Every structure is written in C-alpha cells, then in structure tokens.
A and B are shown apart, each in its own frame.
Chain A
C-alpha cells in the first residue's frame, strides 16, 4: 500500500498528540506544522493526502488552513480535530467549507482519528461531486486502456476537428474521467490538458443516461460559481458518454460554446454517435496494442 502524507497542525506542545494518533495507521505518514502560516505554506508547495488540524491556533484558526487548501488542492479532505464545540466556531467567513469534525475530548477520539483519516482518504470523502456507486469497477474498466501506450492522439484530434466543424462549436474535446481528474486526450479550439474532477461538468454528465446539455452554466448552481469553468470561458455544454462493452462509462465527448446554446434531439443523437465512434477507436487501438504485446511475448 502506498504511503499517504497527512499534515498535522496544532500548537507546539500538542501537535505530537495528533501525529502519534495518525501514525497508528501504517499507511499514513504524519508531517507536523505548528501554525496557520507554516501549514499554509506547506499546502501551497507540497501535495498532501489529508490535513488534520486543531481549530484554535496561535496565529489564526484551522479553517484558514482549509481555505488555503481548497484553493490549492480542492479535493483533499480535512479533519478538524478540536475540543472547541461547533457552536463556538466562527464559520461566518467559511460557510461552504465542509470538513470532518471530530471532538478530541471524546474518550476514544485519539483512537478513532487514524481510522477516520484513512477512511476519508480511501473513500475521497470530501470531494465536491457525487461518484457512482460502482466507481471502483468503473476505474478498473478505465485502467484496461493503456492510453499512453497507443497512438491515439492524432486519430482523436482529427475526430474533435470534425466534431467542432459539424456543430460549429467553439471547442470539442474527448476526455477520460480518472479518479480525481479528467484528462483531455484531444481538444479542438482550446489547449486543455486536464481538469480537477469536481471542476468538470463531465463528472455530472457521466451520471446521465442520455446526452447532457447545459444551455447556460450561469443558470445552474452546479456550475455557475465554478471559477475554473468561468475562467475557461465556458457558457454552454453538451456531453455524451463513452461506454465500454461492460456498460462502464469511462469518458465523454463534449462540445463547449462561449455563449448560451440549445441542442435539438437530432444534434444530441449526432453527438452520441461521435462518442460511440470515439469508443470504438479506443477499443480497436487497445486490441491492436494487446495483439502486438502477445506477438512480442511469443
């Protein structure tokens, strides 16, 4: 099992209590910080798998660290490990900053902390999107495709050129939805490599059976306050599922426009046909790769 880094934050005399509790889980490696400043600098420069913090710190509150973390690593979970009661915590400036709250004054709090940290990391327990119930099987299906080992970019780039032209869309892309991000394999009209999953519309679209259309993201609270989407100039969206033979949805073929846009049923069907074509190309490329691997082995 790979080691996971857990940033433990508390005042100098007490931080060891947290790091000791965290280290009871073999897979967790604690790193200590004793102030908001030190912790904030750390999350701005290093990737962490979880943050455990006291609320009352000498130079501020633990929620300030959460604010910095959400800017840098929005999907990283946080456990607020404190004896301060929720009613005494000033949440006025942090109203939508959800964390796991664990009262450190409870008799078994220290025993429970390592388990909770391991659980929130393992289950991506604080992400801002809903994952399908069979997410594990979906990710397994996705891992069957060795995208890095196949020459897929040129084929997909030609396809997204065709899709953008067919729909007269500003952007057309093909993306695979990984556990924490979406990787864009081809993108016509923009230069996008990947996007954190909770910032993508595709992570919502993949949960729909049919083509999902958002005519104007500014009219939908799931996306209207998403700075990443706004900064990319995304206004309208249409996405169709790439579905494996086993029924797992691993990616999306999508259209983006910089103004509100409606798609009729025939256009939605066209987009789905393009997504099915992309899936067929990916399948055939993988079969070719598998056949060559067998050839070399023999």
Chain B
C-alpha cells in the first residue's frame, strides 16, 4: 500500500495552468457568487475524473446544475454530500446537521472511498468551510476535520482539493487571522475578488506558473 502517483488537473475555464495532483487550494473571497463560480470551475471533473464535493449551503440538484454550467457533463461524474435538500440515489447523500463533524467526516470519507474506488483521479471540495466554522462550537474540531477527512485524503490520493471560505461570513473568530493561519497548511491560495457581473480577479499564490493576478469571466 502506498501513495498513488497522481496526475495534473486542468482548469482551462479559468485560464490557469494545470494543477499538480496532491495540491490543496484554499479559496477565499467575500462575494459568494464569484466564490462559488470559481469553486465549481476548479472542482468540475474532466472526462476520466470524478468529483467528490461537500456542499453545506446548497441542495444536490443545485450543485449539479452549477457543475454542469462549469463543465458540460461534470454533473454526471460527481458524488455529493449536502447539508440541504433531499438525497438522490448514490450520487447525492445528505447529512442533517452541519455541526455534527463526527457524522460529516465519516460520511465524506465513505463517499470518497466508494466514489474513488475505480477512478484514480479525483477532485474534492468543500463549499463552504466558513459555514461549518460558523456552526461548530470549537474551531479546533474544524481543524481536526480538515486534517483528518480532507488534507489527509489529498496527501494519500494525490487528488486536487479545494476548500472555500466566504470571508464575509461570521465564523466566530477573526477571519483575517484564521485565513492567514489556514494559508500555511494549504499548498496554494486563490483569493477571488468580484470585478463585475460574471467577472472576477483571482489573486493566485503558489500554483504552478500562476503567482499573479488573473482576470476571469464565465
């Protein structure tokens, strides 16, 4: 048993260079629409890939529509865990309580294990980590969840992971200090600033070839 080799993950819709497998991206921004649009474009699976996403504020149907808009057919290659709306077959599972990190972590790990059983390359994402932080009593539990159920999976599987934080949300602590701390544990950081309708500027740090501002539209 060993770590898998890992592939590159293309994100052509954002005009970024391919991202190495095993990369963990912290995605931050205060405009939730722009943040979501960029999140889905980073996590939409290409052919021969799958996505495993945790959605805290959207139902499965909504997430699938967003994925489809980001990449045609991506919704058919996604397994979702949502905290809103009904479950739908094996592709969309639900948890009742976003603050139940014990259950959330086990469900997310199970979804990852099952969905990735036959596919080497996958993208994993959390939208929104700020919602989890706002709901739990003790932020240490969120860090434990990220370490155990997210960053560990990326390290072992050489997947691409994206964790989105809405910096306008009330997370119960100093958001700037929290983001500064989180940045050191993730291998890359993308800050999203809305610049107009369906437009944003990405301030990219530590992604290959893209340590700069990138203007994107969708």
Query: Is the CB–CB distance between A129 and B143 below 8 Å?
Result: yes
Does A266 have its Cβ within 8 Å of any Cβ on chain B?
no
Query: Is the CB–CB distance between A226 and B184 below 8 Å?
Result: no
Across the interface, name the chain A residue whose C-beta is closest to B109: A101
Please, which residues of chain A bring their CB within 8 A of the CB of B186? 133
C-alpha gap A259/B216 in the complex (Å): 47
C-alpha gap A92/B187 in the complex (Å): 34
Does A26 have its Cβ within 8 Å of any Cβ on chain B?
no
Determine which of A89, A100, A119, A222 lies in contact with B178 in the assembled complex, contact meaning CB atoms within 8 Å: A222
Query: Is the CB–CB distance between A212 and B177 below 8 Å?
Result: yes
Does B47 have its Cβ within 8 Å of any Cβ on chain A?
no
Does A233 have its Cβ within 8 Å of any Cβ on chain B?
no
Task: Tell me the dominant secondary structure on chain B's binding face.
Answer: helix
Query: Is the CB–CB distance between A85 and B140 below 8 Å?
Result: no
20 further A-B contacts with Cβ under 8 Å, apart from A89-B106, A115-B1, A222-B140, are A87-B107, A94-B102, A95-B103, A96-B138, A97-B102, A99-B106, A100-B149, A102-B113, A103-B110, A123-B152, A125-B151, A126-B148, A127-B144, A127-B147, A130-B146, A130-B184, A131-B185, A198-B140, A207-B184, A208-B177
C-alpha gap A132/B187 in the complex (Å): 10
Does B90 have its Cβ within 8 Å of any Cβ on chain A?
no
Query: How many A-B residue contacts, CB cutoff 8 Å?
Result: 140
Query: Is the CB–CB distance between B101 and A95 below 8 Å?
Result: yes
Does A111 have its Cβ within 8 Å of any Cβ on chain B?
yes
Q: Would you give the shortest CB distance from A39 to chain B, in whole angstroms?
A: 18
Q: Would you give the shortest CB distance from B92 to chain A, in whole angstroms?
A: 14
Query: Residues of B with Cβ closer than 8 Å to A?
Result: 1-2, 97, 99-103, 105-107, 109-110, 113, 133, 136-141, 143-149, 151-152, 155-156, 171-174, 177-178, 180-182, 184-187
Query: Is the CB–CB distance between A119 and B184 below 8 Å?
Result: no
C-alpha gap A80/B136 in the complex (Å): 22
Does A128 have its Cβ within 8 Å of any Cβ on chain B?
yes
- A179-235 contacts to B (CB < 8 Å): 198, 204, 207-209, 212, 214, 220-222, 224-226
Please, which residues of chain A bring their CB within 8 A of the CB of B110? 85-86, 101, 103
Q: Mark A50-70, 1 if CB is under 8 A from B, else 0.
A: 000000000000010000000
C-alpha gap A127/B152 in the complex (Å): 12
Query: Residues of A with Cβ closer than 8 Å to B?
Result: 63, 77, 80, 85-87, 89, 91-92, 94-103, 106, 111-112, 114-115, 119-120, 123-133, 198, 204, 207-209, 212, 214, 220-222, 224-226
Across the interface, name the chain B residue whose C-beta is closest to A106: B113
Query: Is the CB–CB distance between B172 and A98 below 8 Å?
Result: no
Please, which residues of chain A bring their CB within 8 A of the CB of B133? 221
17 contacts between A and B (CB under 8 A): A63-B102, A95-B100, A96-B144, A97-B101, A98-B148, A100-B109, A103-B110, A111-B1, A114-B1, A119-B155, A125-B148, A127-B143, A130-B181, A198-B140, A198-B143, A207-B180, A207-B181
Please, which residues of chain A bring their CB within 8 A of the CB of B136? 96, 221
Q: Would you give the shortest CB distance from B185 to chain A, in whole angstroms?
A: 4
C-alpha gap A124/B87 in the complex (Å): 34
Q: Would you give the shortest CB distance from B206 to chain A, in whole angstroms?
A: 9
Query: Is the CB–CB distance between A208 and B106 below 8 Å?
Result: no
Query: Is the CB–CB distance between B105 and A98 below 8 Å?
Result: yes
Q: Would you give the shortest CB distance from A249 to chain B, in whole angstroms?
A: 10
Please, which residues of chain B bring their CB within 8 A of the CB of A212? 177
Please, which residues of chain B bring their CB within 8 A of the CB of A101? 105-106, 109-110
Please, which residues of chain B bring their CB within 8 A of the CB of A100? 109, 148-149, 152
Query: Is the CB–CB distance between B106 and A86 below 8 Å?
Result: yes
Please, which residues of chain B bring their CB within 8 A of the CB of A209? 180
C-alpha gap A124/B181 in the complex (Å): 17
Query: Is the CB–CB distance between B173 and A220 below 8 Å?
Result: yes
Q: Would you give the shortest CB distance from A220 to chain B, in whole angstroms?
A: 4
Residue of A100, A114, A115, A124 with most chain B CB atoms under a 10 A cut-off: A100
Query: Is the CB–CB distance between B140 and A128 below 8 Å?
Result: yes
Query: Is the CB–CB distance between B148 and A132 below 8 Å?
Result: no
- 10 shortest A-B CB distances, which residue pairs? A128-B140, A221-B172, A96-B141, A115-B1, A86-B106, A101-B106, A130-B185, A207-B181, A98-B144, A91-B102
